[in-house]
Amino acid sequence: MAQHPLEKFRYCPLCGSERFLVNNVKSKRCETCGFVYYFNPSSSTVAVIVNEKDELLVVRRAKEPAKGTLDLPGGFCDCYETGEEGVMREVKEETGLCVDGIRFLFSIPNIYPYGGLDIHTIDLFFLCNTNSTKNAVAADDAAEIMWIPWKEVRPEDFGLRSISQGVERLLQMHAAGWATVR
């Protein structure tokens, strides 16, 4: 039987009561103060960056989960940040590149294991233009960056389920003749 997503949350975040019980599949309710806490996914961004040679920018993960596997630049959105702002910040942090054009592509739900918790996310995939693809450098959560021709991109090399699924979808879109933001 699957564990309730709020199983590890024992106390009401409003009043601190231990009478914080399962209300339904996506919430807990405090029997002391009546507060109902709904479990919702976190927003996460994924950058799809293609250079002038029609190669995909890929990073190697520097940290768990899936350390050492391939990934696309991106990460969690901060509070008060739009998805577009989040993907721009993450690209800058992980590659040093500045995004100057963005187009939303699609989203995929995911479960991201972090610190002993399963963080439910909505991964937002964006096609991103950058000011220059020549100055990319691995930093922050990226141990390495590389440009891979589309014909050599293999979804199974990407360690996170949603990224692997997204790469599969991107390959289908590329084969169908999609256009970059340029």
Number of neighbouring beta carbons within 10 Å of residue 88: 22
Give residue for tokens 């601190």.
16
Render the burial of 89-99: b for 16+ CB within 10 Å, e for the rest: bbbbebbbbeb
Q: Is 52 a catalytic residue?
A: no
Q: Largest Cα–Cα distance of the chain, in whole Å?
A: 61
* Catalytic residue selected from 18, 31, 64, 144: 144
Number of neighbouring beta carbons within 10 Å of residue 8: 10
User: Could you tell me the sign of the dihedral formed by the alpha carbons of 148, 145, 112, 64, in that order?
Assistant: positive
Q: Could you give the strand order of the β-sheet that contains 117-130, starting from the edge strand earlier in sequence? A: 74-76, 42-49, 117-130, 99-114
Render the burial of 118-154: b for 16+ CB within 10 Å, e for the rest: eeebbbbbbbbbbeebeebebebbbeebebeeeeebe
DSSP 132: -
Residues noted as catalytic: 144
